[in-house]
Amino acid sequence: MLGQVAGQLTSQSITTGSIYALVGVGFVILFRATGVVNFAQGEFMVLGAYFFYGFKVELHQNSLVAILAALIAMIALGIVVNMVIFYRLVGASLFTVVIATFGLSILLETAGLIVWGPDTRELPNIFSNNTLVSPLGIPLTTLDIVTIVVAIVLIVLLEIILRTTRTGVRMRAVADSTLLAALQRVHIPRFAGLAWAIASVCSAIAGVALALQSAVDPVNIGQLGLLIFPVVIIGGVDSIIGALVGGLIVATIQTLVAYYLNGIWVDPICYGMLLAFLLFRPRGIFGTREIVRV
């Protein structure tokens, strides 16, 4: 049996790690399918939370309709972003694409502030406040359980799709070589758009889960989006399972450091780990080793 404090820290680590894993999976899907390193993941989280708030609170829809409508809006956003910006950058240098994602991040952040403003917005509690305690002594609320289950199911489903289906194979083929994929009659815009849609949905679900835990805070949610980079570097930038493991590792470190030291040490330690992995194990824990034939 875990102690009360240990149980609470474990619960927080698992729940937060699941949220990080969701965003990390979106990042990995996008990277594996298009080769894009997206620095706008945090803004996609914020917009997902804002869309849910808009449908739920401002338009007075029930929770299920609000979530589905928010996800549909994010799917549309991801497809439009790919068609308008990144499809035109196919074949461009990595530097150009990265700068484009920085520009997209600022654009989305500004658009969100114009439409909804900078204020923190409270969401109604759509789940029971009851706390369940597992046999190990880990207290979990209904929202915690839903977040963890959704993250695990979505991660497993996406891993199966990428590894075993023709769609997954074609998405990976587009990332490996757009030229060879085109020669094999793969419709590149379709699969790139699909990757952007999946990444947008993953980020939106994470943003909604995070907002339901606290509130729709554009500053905090956007900043937490930056912690996805330690997540995917530690787990492996092309590994979906790595995103799950990396999310749990980063969330656990974040929780323990904030409790035993001080919250000010969280970012330096997490990004210090990122640098350490880049120096000594750049492919991460589960990343694919690159093979170069000479």
Q: What tens digit of pLDDT does each residue of 19-55 get?
A: 999 999 999 888 888 888 888 988 999 999 999 999 9
Alpha carbon distance 211, 140 (integer Å): 17
The average confidence (pLDDT) of the chain is: 86
| Least confident piece of the model among 30-34, 90-94, 158-162, 179-183 | 179-183
pLDDT at 78: 94
Q: Is the pLDDT of residue 88 over 70?
A: yes
Q: Is the pLDDT of residue 219 over 90?
A: no
pLDDT at 182: 63
The DSSP line for 220-276 is: HHHHHHHTHHHHHHHH-TT-HHHHHHHHHHHHHHHHHHHHHT-GGGHHHHHHHHHHH
- Amino acid identity, position 52: F
Q: How does residue 175 score in pLDDT terms, banded at 50, 70 and 90?
A: low
- Dihedral (C-alpha) 40, 245, 22, 233: value to the nearest 10 degrees? 10
Q: How does residue 291 score in pLDDT terms, banded at 50, 70 and 90?
A: very low
The pTM of this model reads 0.90
Mean pLDDT of 81-107: 88
The residues spanned by each domain of the chain are: 4-280
Cross-strand bridge partners of residue 121 = 216
Q: Which residue has better confidence, 274 or 167?
A: 274
Mean pLDDT of 180-196: 75
pLDDT at 151: 93
Among the CATH numbers 1.10.3470, 1.10.150, 3.30.70, 1.10.890, which is that of 4-280?
1.10.3470
